[in-house]
Structure 1
């Protein structure tokens, strides 16, 4: 005689367990943002506490703790927003998984910040002001606190809206807002601000133009020739060498500056030498990789995958070296003032301050980066390894070209401009190849062939335009509030 429960009893239990399993899965999914938020808050608190313990400033620790916490918040924001521009194309081209991209970017961002970042913070602290506007140390500290918090708030708003923005411009907007309240319009260095405003237009246009030109070159020399593999054996090593030359020159300008001043001409010479060496090494490697491949576009794309991954890692290293100062530059300035030094001179960023920036960028990337990486890689325009490599190469070349011209540019604007450039070039190319030579292309067909999503394009452009005024307005309000509260150094 069987003692098993009736089938109806098991069925009821199964239904209850199934409901509980679905509820548990939904709860875990909904809780993921809260976990990220909680880990971020813990990191901010630890950074503030560590700053007080390391410096031992006693009564002056409140301002320093706030500055360290705000810097950690800004570093998290940079990791969530800015890093997507470096790894998004590789993920969109399926050369890297999301997890692999995050791991590589986190390591390279930290390495760049710690090894080659933090030369000085002159642009943040004095470059856009008349120094007399910050003769009062208390006013200077309030301005740095307001600028840090305002820029971090705005970058988070942009991240939530799905818009990659320039954290450099956000911080500059924050400093400008506080400076206008502190010293009025006369305290501003308007020529420097005009150059920064010019970069809003120059950066994406240069990046887009270079990316489109490189893609046109690759299509003409490799993709649309009869023997694609033979052409790839010739030109892929050349493109790899150009990428290596651009990065070597950039890192010579940024990394070696902590040890010795490197003029642009010497940096370009270093880049040319390393580029030739990498080209010579790449020739046999590409030939070996191409051996046995079919004469198809898919085979050509395969040859671009590894160079694309390496370029993404180098872009992350360069970004960490350059943009970590956006998070920790104001903090270093506050530390300098707290130790009794002038806020108006040039000063190096302390190592513990750099560590907050490096770790914060990596933590922010791991916790919040996947959303914008997916948007940059997949939702603006369709990328493959060839197009993504054109974007990466354009970013590297544009930075060097801008340095040669003395133009202040944004790495974010360059990278996103490169993606737009590739997409709009593909639209232009497709519009010149109608399906039937004897019939004009209908308007509906032209609309269908739009390869850049206009909604993302307009959202990103709008976010770029309002970044400086939005961050400036928030910073001005925060500075006014701190002044009214009588906040002291």
Structure 2
């Protein structure tokens, strides 16, 4: 049996690996449209997204508290250091698999599914906090894509009416400038919501191991999670950029501005409520909404259908893998 400090270090390290895969998988959402419309180069967009993710990570902790104490009952899992480790392994597996397929599924829901599966494997079906999961995860799972779609659709209709008399060249010039602001807004909102999720699970681990008395996120946890996510953005998000920026709907600067602005507004609202929503779901559906405002045939609905399948599968798939990982850790004596 490894000693507790060593296992805690391993859990924190694996959590930061998850945050890195989250960056590779999800942080591209903040820059996909601005890269695909050639407003900024990939390098400039990555640098901007990384800096603003870092800023967003320090703007609140409501989502971290939901992940740390609103998915599983802390008093039930307090006796097992293996729960968090198994949850992370399940989430990382699903992140890497969907990254390999180029599908923008939800790292957030992979983490939630991992926590649920590992907690059930350890403490039975009474371990998850079903009321909180329903209110803070499942309801936003349905509402945030709908809000993204209708927000993107409505904003694009408004913008189209506002520029109806302008020449296409002037519209492109104007929105190339404005899209820098909308992408910055999106990157900041992404840090505000997504960077907090790994903060929450590391803080939960610190509570379980008795290193801190309550769910208060330490500064070093905020900083390390924000940096890990930014590094992931720089290293691995380009498959998702391609899907988000080209395969769903061919974007122009005005479309990118509408999608980013609408998505960032939805994400900021959810963050204020402590709901760990998927930035992937939100930006995907705003892109679809923007495309549908032009004409329904402009959206490649086959690709959109594949995204929905990945979304539906994420929580149960990650939960099953995490439960298997917990049983494997129990057999080796690491989990108890």
TM-score (norm 1): 0.64
Aligned to 1:366: 234
- In the superposition, relative to structure 1, how do residues 75 and 400 fare at CA in structure 2: closer, same or farther (>3 Å)? closer
- Offset at residue 100 of structure 1 (A): 1.7
**Cα separation, 1, equivalents of 2:116 and 2:186:** 28
Task: Map residues 319-398 of structure 1 onto 2, 5 A cutoff.
Answer: 319-342=190-213, 345-348=214-217, 350-398=218-266
Aligned counterpart, 2:29 = 85
- The answer to whether the 8 Å contact 2:52/2:184 transfers is yes
Deviation at 1:111, TM superposition (A): 3.1
Measured after TM superposition, the shift of residue 183 of structure 1 is 1.8
CA separation of 1:221 and 1:355: change in aligned 2, threshold 3 A: closer
> Which residue is equivalent to 2:189?
318
Counterpart in the other structure of 1:123:
66
Q: Secondary structure at the residue paired with 2:44?
A: helix
8 Å Cα contact 2:119-2:128 kept in structure 1: yes
Please give the per-residue CA displacement for 1:108-147, whole angstroms capped at 9, x wherever unaligned.
223333x3355673322321233442242xx1x2111111
Q: Equivalent residue for 1:172?
A: 112
For 2:40, what is the secondary structure of its paired residue?
coil
In terms of mean alpha carbon deviation, does 299-308 or 329-338 score higher?
A: 329-338
1:86/1:316 contact within 8 Å kept: yes
- Shift in alpha-carbon separation, 1:323–1:399, aligned structure 2, 3 A: closer
Q: Following the alignment from structure 2 to structure 1, what is the Cα–Cα distance between the partners of residues 273 and 13?
A: 37
User: Which residue in 1 is equivalent to 2:173?
Assistant: 302
Aligned CA distance change for structure 1 residues 375 and 105 (closer, same or farther; 3 Å): same
CA contact (8 A) 1:165 1:460 kept: yes
1:297-336 residue CA offsets vs partner (Å, 9 max, x unmatched): 2211211112211221222122123212222322232233
Q: Flag structure 2 segments of 5+ consecutive residues without an equivalent.
A: none
Pairs within 5 Å for 1:13-162: 59-113=3-57, 115-116=58-59, 118=61, 121-136=64-79, 139=80, 141-162=81-102
Report how far residue 208 of structure 1 moved: 0.8
SS of the residue corresponding to residue 314 of structure 2 reads helix
Cα deviations by residue, 1:392-413 (Å, 9 ceiling, x for unpaired):
1211332355578887633221
8 Å Cα contact 1:121/1:333 also seen in 2: no
Mapped to 2, the partners of 1:424 and 1:477 lie a distance apart of 41
Q: Is the 8 A contact 2:121 2:327 kept in 1?
A: yes
CA, structure 1 residues 106+146, in 2 after alignment: closer, same or farther (shift >3 Å)? same
Distance 1:79 1:401, change over 3 A: closer
8 Å contact kept, 2:192–2:268: no
Which residue does the alignment assign to 1:426? 294
Tell me the TM-score normalised to structure 2 length.
Answer: 0.91
* Larger-Rg structure: 1
- State the distance in 2 between where 1:380 and 1:479 align: 37
Cα deviations by residue, 1:71-93 (Å, 9 ceiling, x for unpaired): 12111111111112111111122
Q: Distance in 2 between matches of 1:188 and 1:158?
A: 25
Does structure 1 conserve the Cα–Cα contact (< 8 Å) formed by 2:193 and 2:277? no
RMSD: 2.3
Equivalent residue pairs, number: 334
2:333 aligns to what SS in structure 1?
A: coil
Distance 1:184 1:404 in 2: 32
Classify 1:211/1:158 alpha carbon distance in 2 versus 1 (closer, same or farther; 3 Å): same
Is structure 2 residue 314 aligned with structure 1 residue 451?
no
CA contact (8 A) 1:91 1:374 kept: no
Q: 1:383 to 1:175 in 2, by over 3 A?
A: same
Alignment partner, residue 192 of structure 1: 132
Cα contact 1:121–1:347 (8 A) shared by 2: no
Structure 1 regions of 5+ residues with no counterpart? 1-57, 229-295, 429-449
Alpha-carbon offset, residue 475 of structure 1: 0.7
Partner Cα separation in structure 2 for residue 380 and residue 201 of structure 1? 20
For the pair 1:410 / 2:257, whether they are aligned, the reply is: no
| Counterpart contact for 2:63–2:275, Cα < 8 Å | no
Q: How far apart, CA to CA, are the structure 2 residues paired with 1:405 and 1:116?
A: 13
Separation of aligned partners in 2, 1:308 and 1:354: 28
Change (3 A) 1:163 1:402: same
Distance 2:63 2:246 in 1: 36
* Corresponding residue SS for 1:186: coil
